Amino acid sequence: MKLQIPLVPLLAVLNLASGPASASCGSNNPPEEALEAARSLDIDRQSTGMQVRSALHNSPREGFVIPTYLHVVESKEKAGLVTDKMLHDQV
């Protein structure tokens, strides 16, 4: 089954799922390598956010399709009980 998901709601969900970034480390004495890795990830996150905002600003508001595939595992007793509508409603 192939589903179509509009981009803007998907980006909003991804943004909420990532949560706000914390400026401080939760460890009392983190190694310098960990701090450097965190700084690098933060720079990558900020860069990606700017690219997404730029793409949204410069693109038409229709959005585009992201192909999404679902894998369903069922037992023999319940085989065939999951409908396409049920899967679509979950996305």
Whole-angstrom Cα distance, residue 46 to residue 67? 26
pLDDT tens per residue across span 9-57: 656 656 555 555 555 556 677 788 888 888 888 877 777 777 676 666 6
Q: Where are the domains of the chain?
A: 2-90
pTM equals 0.28
Coil, helix or strand for 68?
A: strand
